[in-house]
Chains A and B, each alone.
Chain A
Amino acid sequence: MNRESAETFLRLLAEAELRDQLAPGPPPWAAGPGARRAKVMAVGQALTAVGALEVGTVEDILADFDLAVSVRQLRGRPGPGPAGTAAPAARPPGTGPVGQLRAKPAPRVAAQLRYGRSGPPVRPPRLSRSWMAGPTDPEPPGQDPDQGAADRFVPVGLTIPFHDEGISGDLYLMSFAHTGSGARFMAVWGIRTPLAQLRMGLQGPDLIPFELFTVVDDRGVRYELDFTPSGGLEWTGVISLRPTPPAGIRWLDVTPPLGPAVRIELDQGGPTASGGPQVSDVKLSPGEHLLIMLAEQLLTMAPEFPRDLRRGVAATSPGLLQAMTAALGDIIAGLEAADVLSPLSPVPARLAALCASLGVGGHGIAVPPADDLPEPWLSLLAHYQRRKPETAPVTEGYAAATAALPELDGIRLALLGVHNTEGISSLHVLARGMKAEGHPAPLGVDLDFPLSVWLRDSGGRWHAARPAGWHRVGHEYTARLRLVPPLTRSTTWIEVLAGGRSAEVRTKLPLRWGYPP
């Protein structure tokens, strides 16, 4: 890795972006300094993501760029001209004696520096969350207490009806996970008799009478429940048991208000991975790995953009997607300059082909598009290019399925179930070993979850799984991975493909769907 070359590249890019605005021809800042800053920032983020640059270095470069842009935006504006130039006789209008100066409020700099299109010219925070629903705090220092502990992941797949004075519904328990950080159910609440407040959207699941549920284990120990929503979906989340049960309990009885106890067998086998995970070696450079994450982010973002874009019809306006991909060529050049991407790597050409398939131009990738694309990418592209890709029904439901995957790039993933609601499919996972550094990355890629996760359904279609929400407990994170496209409930099994830089793992899981009544 060549850090000096990486920094030089980024600084030269900033120079070039600034110079373009100084050139005669287009009016100053016609293209928008924000777009130019975004490009410098995206490349800086990419170089930070692969470890070629410190975050502080990128922040310094951006701060200088912002200030350089801001002071040049003052040029040509009406009002006082440059100060301090030569003698008073040659002084431009407006730079008179101090009394006059004070009589004329001059908010331009303050306004432009504060609200200039290039953003505030102060250094961005050293730590920032990579996406809105991301980890809320950086990882506290300390050892992972879960390392080496015996873990237990049990597919549950039970529905527990409950009734209370003002509310009733069902508690769907997808799975049970017991690790060094505690024991919890992955759960979904289904409310059958919504209150007026619910209809008005005034209240959330805090209406659920947790205190009326009882949980007792096979040794007679009683537990209290804590519920934590899971990444944006209010009615889905983690129900933790307090205190943490001992290892080896055989069952738990969950008794809802006004309902019979439901026994959850923790020793029984449910739908689990068939044959165990298969691990194979891969060897991706840091640059290739980042580009693959960018490509997958592009693939999953595509549904959010106009359909003509998805069908590959040339867009009449650049659009957000085009703006977001404008730095790809520079990112690739920067990664090559930093010696973290070989000029012979096939990944840039695949990224170019992906952009072409999505109808996105102006990305600046120098190599011609590749002829071959990975099968999951092709599957997703084929889905988008169908006439009405979004018309497949996504029926509400959840599927119990668990599997613990071998460690990938220091991250241990456990699959905790699949859930369909409001047209969205989610794969719930437990992740350990993640480093929540919170570095932002190009295209909103989540660097805290540096894995590529795909699902192949029983119909042979692939679904990308990208992080959509987190909650941290101790050194563990429960995460919701949004599946694009959603999974239909006709799916009887899934094959999960999780890839890191050094290895990928595949595991096949039967799905046992449960549905709201």
Chain B
Amino acid sequence: MTDRPNEPWFGCLAPCEAHLPCGQGRHIVRWEAGALRLPSHADAEAELVLAALGGEKAKCVEVAQAWGRHAEDLSVLAIGPRGPADEIAVSWDDVDAAAQASGRDWSGYWAGPLGSPSHGPMRLASPPPAAAQAWAQVRQQQQMQETERAAQRRNDMLSLLALGYGFQVRLIGQVAQAHADRPDEAMEKVRPPLVAAIAGRLAPVAEEWLGIDPDQVVVSLRRGPGWGSVELTGRGEQRRLRVSLPAGWLGRVWAAGLALVGRHLVVAVDRAGWPDARVLALRAPGTEPVHIDVHASSGRPGALDAPHWEI
């Protein structure tokens, strides 16, 4: 079988780099072997200490922190790209603008729900009890905290998206892998977002593979041994491509750009590697998967992070 448990999930992913404005210059952020690295910051931890003491935090360090905060965040799957055609173009200007906006006036959103009673008594039968007033204050504080958390989360996401497609798919792979091997009892909470994440990325692949309407792709999460299953059922409007794949497919296969190679749907990686790998792939639904040796080359011009694999 495939996807050997001891083999790292990122075996088919090449290193990638991005440049970002940091201090007075532009620094490189590199992803390599499953980890984010900051080659321009020799001692990032020391910089963090300095920042805690009031110094300015380097943007590279901020981005690395954001990466760490969201390495298991399932929202990454809902927000990130569904494929190379789903270009998410966030610039660092955009990141800065959003950060400034959140520091300025995002709290204004909350004035309405709490601050505009539709009517009020002309003579209150009794003033609001002290407990109710205290409760309202607690609610207001909670909402402010929620607003701040939401702004932090949004700014984090924009920073991570600004790193570019290569980093985006690698983060998706890391998040999916973080949840792939959870025990069964912990899966109830994470299964819905994982199913949606696979469906959202497999559906366009299936459309390219079979010409099927993406809405006719039905995904379930594969647990246990084996790569899963892919079956075509029904006809016409009742036609369904029923796919069962493990969560790890997102990291090992999809993030590496391996989902569809030479008109084969890749369902697992047999021997990971870059630029050469062996995968398990289906020629058609319902058939037995075959082992295929594949080779990667650079994909679109200027898009080095989306490789093109060939048999």
Which A positions have Cβ atoms within 8 angstroms of B? 4, 7-8, 11-12, 14-16, 18-19, 22, 60-61, 63-65, 67-68, 71-72, 74-75, 79-88, 90-91, 94-95, 97-99, 101-102, 104-110, 113-114, 120-123, 125-129, 132-134, 136-137, 140, 182, 204-206, 210, 226-229, 231-232, 240, 242, 469, 471, 473
Contact = CB atoms under 8 A, between A and B. Distances in A.
Prevailing SS type, chain B contact patch:
helix
A229 B120 CA distance: 8
A471 B101 contact: no
Contacts, number: 230
Q: How large is the interface on B (under 10, 10 to 19, 20 to 34, 35 or more residues)?
A: 35 or more
Contact of B95 (A8, A98, A109): A109
Interface of A is mostly: mixed
Interface stretch (B175-183, B199-207, B227-235, B258-266): B199-207
Contacts of B150: 63, 122-123
A80 B204 CA distance: 28
Contacts of B21: 97-98, 101
B304 A86 contact: yes
A240 B125 CA distance: 7
Contact of A120 (B78, B109, B118, B195): B109
Contact of A84 (B135, B163, B196): B163
Contact of A86 (B95, B146, B302): B302
Contacts of B86: 22, 72
A17 B197 CA distance: 14
Contacts of B66: none
Given A83-B162, A84-B164, A94-B91, A226 B142 contact: no
10 contacts: A11-B192, A12-B195, A22-B86, A75-B87, A84-B167, A106-B91, A114-B101, A122-B150, A228-B123, A240-B125
Interface of B: 17-26, 29, 75, 78-79, 82, 85-98, 100-101, 106, 109-110, 113-114, 117-119, 121-125, 129, 131-132, 135-136, 139, 142-143, 146-147, 150-151, 154, 157-158, 161-167, 188, 191-193, 195-196, 199-200, 203-204, 214-215, 302-305
Contacts of B200: 15, 18-19
A206 B122 CA distance: 6
A95 B18 CA distance: 12
B195 A8 contact: yes
A106 B123 contact: no
Interface centre among B101, B106, B119, B214 (most CB of A within 10 A): B119
A262 B145 CA distance: 56
A434 B151 CA distance: 35
A61 B91 CA distance: 25
A88 B78 contact: no
Contacts of B165: 82, 85
A365 to B, nearest CB: 16
A7 B74 CA distance: 14
B91 A136 contact: no
A261 to B, nearest CB: 22
Contacts of B188: 4
Given A11-B193, A18-B200, A132-B118, A84 B131 contact: no
Nearest to A129: B113
A132 B117 CA distance: 8
B203 A122 contact: no
Contacts of A136: 117-118
Central interface residue in B22, B151, B200, by most chain A CB within 10 Å: B200
